Amino acid sequence: MAKKATTLVALAILIAGCGAPEPLTFDGEAAYAHVVAQCDLGFRPTGSQAGQATGDYVIAYLEDQGWTVETEGFTYRDTPVRNVVGQVGEGPVVVLGAHYDTRRSADQEDPSVPVMGANDGASGVAVLLELARTLDRDRLQNQVWLAFFDAEDNGQLDGWEWCVGSSHMAANLEVTPEAVVVVDMIGDADQQLYLERNSDAALQTRLWEIAATLGYTGTFIPEYRWAMLDDHVPFAQRGIPAVDVIDFDYPYWHTTQDTPDKVSAESLERVGRVLEVWLEGKGDLAVDVERLRALAVSGDVETLARALDRSVVPIPAGEFLMGDDAGPANEHPQRLVYLDAFEIDRYEVTNVQYHRFLQATGQEPPPYWSGDDYPPGQADVPVVGVTWEDADAYCAWTGWRLPTEAEWERACRSTDGRVYPWGDTWDAGRANVGGAEAGQSRPVSHTEPGAPAWGEGWALVQPTPADVDAVGLRPVGFYPDGASPDGVMDLVGNASEWVADWFNWDGYWDMPDRNPVGLGPEWNRSIRGSSWVPYGVAHWAQEQSRCSARNSAHRGGPDARFGFRCARPVR
Ligand SMILES: [Zn+2]
């Protein structure tokens, strides 16, 4: 029954996502399909026809995803053995490994029958194959090897040893990897991943910390439990930091019951996401921004859009201080609010991303575009002039949604109640806020907050000013020192941002303290973050740049100040 529900959800996503860009991050359902495909080949012990076919399946998929594939063939006890290694990127080598053979005897139950190995074999392979599709190569700081080991799982059968394939690879390495992470039996629907005693403690701690950031504290349990003889050991014995991610509390281990119904897409996704964040997150934020700028300048808009799509920040579950007693009444009172874990776009949604959405859906472009084209040179500039409905539709098209007011504020001020993303003191050099310099009071036609038509804004949207002090929209990430503690950019300044909530005029104090969202009155939508358009007086610009500051506008009207970013819950 549970499995059937999952299939329906997957179908719904496929329909909703029709024409949308490929999922940005590791997709558990896609990984699960690799589990099923392997099991459809039959029992897959080393040297068998199905074992050969599994290796071929891996090779074909890696090549299809643009990975360089090498194989290592040798003979062990008159049996042909073949390791498969996919390689991509440059830099120190990091190996992600999994065994693809299955045990030829279910000796924990009935030794005359082989093991199907949906979890013990197929699950690790599935995670590696989905990573082959989703790893953002531009963000990798390493050469990544995806190593598919043969002959791991016939230990103690007719005198066979464990880990034959990985031992052969470790003994024949021509370069010394910086790290090896093995994933084995990680797909159990009842997932419990404990620290393992033969693993490198520092690297293991790092991975479990990332898991906690993603909200996986219930399954990545930071306590020691087992000591495993697995494919990491031959590398660890050579002094290479190696970790075994394994769930050995699996009741179907080496039985006939190790079948796909015991594996869940969610379990695969948690492990895949941790590895993805680990490998992609090694990059430095300033370097990331520079790379985006270079892509925009070079005109490689496809790569730019993809890189922006993947620029997401995980925010762990927990409490934070929301509101400000010193602010206007609509921010009162400051209080502790609990949020489930979520992910949010690092940058505001840009013209290049929004352009792709318009192409796919035929929606109306913002009023300042010429036809279907955004202003020249503004691929990596936030799209503005979008209505709440436009923003909502874009996020839904990507499979995400607008952040709630609470999520936005948490992304902006972290958990220490700070006033601005960078701390408690205003600094006009950290954000693109119009007229925020002390003493600057550029005259504008509307000085009232919430004025419906900022006529002057439209003309100013067009050119991106070369002069740092001039008024105008700027590329996302233009002020790296304005990042929030979690690395979310441009929350203050550049575009103001639509969020999911209806604006709650009063009764803000009365909202739930867990995952609050404004449900009405259904009149104005909430807006967070200050804007690039001059506020008229510096004091007002600073007021509006506080993380807790709230605004609203009627949802239907395009406005040169308003853009958005997307978010989604972490499951
Ligand atoms: Zn096994």
- For 291-335, the pLDDT digits (tens) are 888 899 999 999 899 889 888 888 888 999 999 999 988 898 999
d(CA 155, CA 169): 17
Q: pTM for the whole thing?
A: 0.62
Q: Where are the domains of the chain?
A: 2-7+22-280, 296-569
Task: Give the per-residue pLDDT at 11.
Answer: 39
Q: Could you tell me the sign of the dihedral formed by the alpha carbons of 424, 427, 431, 435, in that order?
A: positive
Return all residues near 333 (Cβ < 8 A) that are at least 6 apart.
Answer: 323, 325, 509
> How many separate helices (H) and strands (E) can be counted in the chain?
15, 17
Res 215: pLDDT: 77
HEC profile of 396-419 = HHCCCECCCHHHHHHHHHCCCCCC
**Residue pair 562/495 in contact by the 8 Å Cβ criterion:** yes
In percent, how much of the chain has pLDDT > 90? 67
Distance of CA 80 from the midpoint of ligand 1 (Å): 19
Report the separation in Å between the CA atom of 209 and the middle of ligand 1, taken as the mean of its atom positions.
Answer: 27
Of the pLDDT bands very low, low, confident and very high (cuts 50, 70, 90), residue 232 is: very high
User: Tell me: the pLDDT tens digits for 60-92?
Assistant: 999 999 999 999 999 999 999 999 999 999 989
DSSP 329: G
Calculate the dihedral angle through the C-alpha atoms of 422, 424, 428, 434, rounding to the nearest 10 degrees.
Answer: 100
Q: Which residue has the tokens 């050119």?
A: 463
In the reported structure, the alpha carbon of residue 254 is separated from the centroid of ligand 1 by a whole-number distance in angstroms of 6
> In the predicted model, is pLDDT for residue 282 greater than 80?
no
pLDDT at 281: 72
Predicted local confidence at residue 548, as pLDDT:
96
Q: Do domains 2-7+22-280 and 296-569 have the same CATH topology?
A: no
Q: Which residues of 312-348 are buried (b: 16+ CB within 10 A; e: fewer)?
A: bbbbbbeebbbbbeebeebbeeebebebebbbbbbbb
Q: What is the pLDDT of residue 444?
A: 40
**Cα-to-centroid distance, 44 and ligand 1 (Å):** 12
Q: Which CATH number does 296-569 carry?
A: 3.90.1580.10
Distance from the alpha carbon of residue 99 to the mean position of ligand 1, in angstroms: 9
232-254 as b/e: b if 16+ CB within 10 A: bbbbbeeebbbbbbbbbebebbb
Q: Coil, helix or strand for 362?
A: coil
CATH fold of 2-7+22-280 reads Aminopeptidase (3.40.630)
Which residue type, as a one-letter code, is found at position 135? L
- Determine the distance separating the centroid of ligand 1 and the alpha carbon of 568, expressed in angstroms: 36
In a 13 Å sphere around the CA of 102, the CA atoms on its Cβ side amount to 34
Confidence of residue 256 (pLDDT cuts 50, 70, 90): very high
Separation of CA 382 and ligand 1 centre (Å): 50
Q: Return the structure tokens found at 464.
A: 């991106």
CA of 212 to the centre of ligand 1 (A): 28
